[in-house]
Chain A
Amino acid sequence: MTKTVDAIVVGGGIHGCSTALHLCLAGLKPVLIEKDYAGRHASGVNAGGVRQLARNIPEIPLSIRSMVIWEKITELVDDDCSFESHGQVLVAENEDELAVCRARVAELNALGFTHEELIDAAELRRLVPAVADTCPGGVVSRRDGAANPAQTTTAFRRKAEQLGATVREGVAATNIRQSDGLWHVDVASESFAAPVLVNAAGAWAGKIAAALGEPVPVETVAPMLMITSRVPHFIDPVVILRGRKLSFKQFKNGTVLIGGGHLATPYQDRNETVLDWKRLAVSARTVFELFPVMRSATIVRAWAGIEAKMKDDLPVFGASSRHKGLYHQFGFSLHGFQLGPGAGAVMAELIVNGGTRTRVSDLGIDRFHPSTL
């Protein structure tokens, strides 16, 4: 028996869950299909950065839209998602890096974006007292912060279900096909049909797009993170470095999350990643140099989540260029978590209204002409 619903969302990450939730808010009845469980991969195990800072210009409007939702996240999902807003700071370690920061902020200002603010050494020291004295300044995005990714993704999933979404976890969507104007998907012994299909399958989305005739230049990556034991409170904002691969966040309980994008080896078919400790050692050395207070902290866990990275580091977001009723929402390239709430809202607008006031036109799948692959 095929169940007909209003939309089929494939992928229970923050994006799929957010889209399902916003479709429910628009009065639709979607089904959300997740092969593992919501938040099993990148959405549940990322660094939790809620960051507008240092984004690619084409995705800034989506990021700003998302930030508005983050600031009222409890109203949307009945859960605070452990969202805290102490800003995010990009640290320039020398004058050359500061010059790049200055140019960047000027470029954004010229485009009308004001969320990034150039700061001098004094303001940097005020925001991040523990930072090395030699750093001449940086950029701050004051409304940014961080949230608990597993808690957030789970909250979106739970709220979507409460609002009427059908959720299927632990079984993969298979046999995705279009016939008579409807999308059909098999989920174990069940079948669903809907006029709308959203491909939000993260690291698995590229295969779905390719199978539907829209291949894109995407690879599967697994950025690594480490968390330390509790250390005395010494830093509020999230810190990222301009010149080196490092991001850094201390939680309220004192534990410190160290990331920055060094990669593990993903084994996508096994849901497994093998960590590269020599790369993690590079992160450890950077923290060791910059934050002496961290030297005696112990590392209690290191991990990596599997996700999709596009060749141009921009997400694939919006309607298919080939099929009616097909929408893509994947390839967030290591920075999709903050975009989740906003992307779900915008995707629901695209599906329900056929358009949105948030500028996302540079993110479409049509930017990949076959000749660019």
Chain B
Amino acid sequence: MTTTPSRENYDFVVIGAGPAGLAAAATSAEAGLSTLLLDENIGPGGQVFRAIASTPVTAREQLGTDYWVGADLVQALRAGNTEVVQRATVWSLDRNLEIGVSIGGGSSFVKARRVILATGALERPFPIPGWTLPGVMTAGAAQTMLKSSALVPDGRTVIAGQGPLLWLLAAQILRLGGRIDRILDTTERGNYFAALPHAFAFLTSPYFAKGLALMREVRAKVQVVSGVAELAAVGDGQLASVSYVAGGKRETIPADLLLLHQGVVPNVNLAMAAGVEHRWNELQLCWSPVLDASGNSSIEGIAIAGDGAGIGGATAAVVRGRIAARAAVEALAPVAAAKLPPLATLRAELAKAERGRAFLDTLFRPSPQFRIPSGDTIVCRCEEVTAKDILDAVAIGATGPNQLKAYRRTGMGPCQGRLCGLTVTELMAQARAKSPQEIGYYRLRAPVKPITLAELAAVPKSEDDVKAVVRG
């Protein structure tokens, strides 16, 4: 493993070492192409296989057998000659396939002939009243602490939301001896009926048995409240209680920690900043890149695999990584591609891995009241802009997230809309009775992750700069 990229040019640069990125990098290295894998974490694995090479958790059953699949992927990658750089934050990518990457506080640029983005997913915003209070965090953040440091909550803990990750996290916390006082399930009752047409595919998918077992395991130990239709975090400067309505009845329970989760959405930040075309996905309620069957984006040379290409889960991500890499190998080295598994085989694997996805997407489609806030609920936490502020701006002419910047600083703070973007789009769409596709999204720009001025100032001068100085 290296600390900085050893060269300025690569055939292949893969961004993200989660399931899709690991598979893509292994595939291209297998084909003999010069391959660089850049990943922001301290070790490979992404979120699903986080800390796969270093986790202190040794009892395999505590994190579940799926987690350990990642170890095989890492092994395969290490067998090849892929250059892997961890703690490498890619902050820029453009249509010339030039990549700005920060490693250990220093930035450099590498150029690729093909780029595969495997930037994974982000948790969907969950903008309920009080969600910015200390003591409220996302389930994903809790899972990160659990996987990398075996830290589990020991105070009064409430988990609220829905989706497979919520149940998985609850099971993982309980197995590691953590405390959960109550689970508030926000799944809309109507979703069960809407999802019925997809139930057969789901029942015959690997998700079903696993999901059912997880839910049973959790329900045996924790009180689960279903049909939660309203939710608020309450406290003065610190979470004190969680207030909710279920079955028409309001309840308030004291809590030190509230973990929120209502599914994940593609992490599109880098792809959008590069200029890749995206469209609104009405089923998954998020932006997804426009891709062909091999994951190629609207920009020549950039392909996207894994959850960043549309939520599909870890198993599908691995196959999509292989498919995208295979297509790219075919473009650069057709002879080498012939030795890789045939596309038809991969496509069949993908179809199998995606079985049951439509059911999950429909069942766990979050309700509008948990996606689209109102009143004084904060939307943009960087600049403390509320839902009402945004609706007021719409009333006097703001038509979309970018236009909104003429009225409010929404999306102009340190996170540049990476946290509030979906909320702003959906809120404005609802207020203007338009589709999110019509409303649009923030124009994202590099740096996709902030870099310091000192770091940019220290970028090595290019040859042209040096020449310009010599010429005086």
Contacts and interface: CB of A to CB of B under 8 A. Distances in A.
Contact of B453 (A274, A297, A301): A297
A280 B409 CA distance: 24
Contact of A150 (B396, B397, B406, B454): B406
Interface residues of B, number: 35
Given A275-B92, A281-B461, A299-B456, 20 more contacts: A40-B402, A150-B406, A153-B406, A154-B397, A154-B403, A274-B95, A274-B96, A275-B94, A277-B92, A277-B446, A281-B456, A284-B457, A288-B454, A295-B453, A297-B452, A297-B453, A298-B414, A300-B413, A301-B447, A302-B445
Contacts of A39: 406
B452 A158 contact: no
A19 to B, nearest CB: 19
B453 A275 contact: no
Interface in B346-405: 396-397, 399, 402-403, 405
A301 B416 contact: yes
Contacts of B402: 40
Interface in A253-306: 253, 270, 272, 274-275, 277-278, 280-282, 284-285, 287-288, 294-303
A331 interface: no
B397 to A, nearest CB: 6
A344 interface: no
B454 A274 contact: no
B298 to A, nearest CB: 10
A299 B454 contact: no
Given A281-B459, A288-B457, A299 B407 contact: no
A85 interface: no
Going nearest first, the 5 A-B pairs with the smallest beta carbon separation are A154-B406, A298-B450, A288-B457, A284-B456, A150-B406
A52 to B, nearest CB: 25
A253 B412 CA distance: 12
Contacts of A253: 409
Interface residues of A, number: 37
Interface in A34-49: 37, 39-40, 44
A278 B406 contact: no
Interface string A349-365: 00000000000000000
A277 B109 contact: yes
A151 interface: yes
A294 B450 CA distance: 14
Contacts of A155: 406
Interface string B427-448: 0000000000000000001110
Given A154-B406, A288-B454, A300 B399 contact: no
A220 interface: no
Residue of B95, B413, B456, B461 with highest tally of chain A CB at under 10 A: B456
A40 B462 CA distance: 32
B406 A272 contact: no
B407 to A, nearest CB: 7
B465 A37 contact: no
Given A278-B465, A284-B457, A288-B457, A299 B406 contact: no
B445 A284 contact: no
Contacts of B109: 277-278
Contact of A281 (B94, B95, B457): B457
A56 to B, nearest CB: 26
A300 B450 contact: yes
B275 interface: yes
Contacts of B462: 278
B399 A37 contact: yes
Given A274-B94, A278-B459, A287-B453, A302 B414 contact: no
B400 to A, nearest CB: 8
A229 B445 CA distance: 15
Nearest to A149: B406
A171 to B, nearest CB: 14
A321 B451 CA distance: 50
Residue of B92, B109, B402 with highest tally of chain A CB at under 10 A: B402
B100 interface: yes
A228 interface: yes
Contact of B465 (A150, A270, A274, A282): A282
Contacts of A154: 397, 403, 406-407
B457 A285 contact: yes
Contact of A44 (B406, B407, B451, B454): B406
A265 to B, nearest CB: 9
A298 B453 contact: yes
B370 to A, nearest CB: 28
A158 B397 contact: yes
Residue of B407, B416, B445, B453 with highest tally of chain A CB at under 10 A: B453
Nearest to B383: A253
Contacts of A148: 406
Contacts of B275: 270, 272
Nearest to B408: A151
Interface string A153-182: 111001000000000000000000000000
Nearest to A275: B446
Contacts of A153: 406
A228 B447 contact: no
Contacts of B412: 301
A146 to B, nearest CB: 16
A79 B20 CA distance: 50
B406 A151 contact: yes
A40 to B, nearest CB: 8
A335 to B, nearest CB: 21
Contacts of A272: 275
B457 A300 contact: no
Contacts of B446: 275, 277, 302
